[in-house]
Amino acid sequence: MKTWFLYLIRCKDNSLYTGITTDVMRRFKEHQGNDRKGSKYLRGKAPLKLALKKKIGNKSLTSKVEAKVKKLPKDKKEMFVKGKIRIKEIIDQVE
């Protein structure tokens, strides 16, 4: 079984993009490229910076955690990136 990761990317406008993947560096490179593999949201928002990556586990749980993080207000996402909100707190809310 593959291990899934949650990641957040910071854009030049300081917004945070949230995604999931089994290979964070490959996915980050796809987002930085100009091909169709990267997210439409991130096009034109370079430079991009990988702000956070967290190993979650299976795809189902990782998708639920991603949905929860996407719904967080910006200030809470910033607290999550800074480590003031732990991933366990978010996982506990979705399990």
Q: What is the dihedral of CA 12, 14, 17, 21, to 10 degrees?
A: 70
Domains within the chain, CATH numbers bracketed: 4-94 (3.40.1440.10)
Residues 88, 94, 95, CA angle at the centre, nearest 5°?
Answer: 85
At 35, the pLDDT band (50, 70, 90 cuts) reads: confident
- Determine the pLDDT at residue 26: 96
Q: How many residues does the chain have?
A: 95
What is the distance between the alpha carbons of residues 3 and 58, in angstroms, rounded to a whole number? Answer: 6
Q: What is the per-residue pLDDT across 59-82, written as a single tens digit (0 to 9) for each? A: 999 999 999 999 999 999 999 999
* Average pLDDT value for residue range 34-43: 89
Confidence of residue 36 (pLDDT cuts 50, 70, 90): confident
Position 18 confidence tier, pLDDT thresholds 50, 70, 90? very high
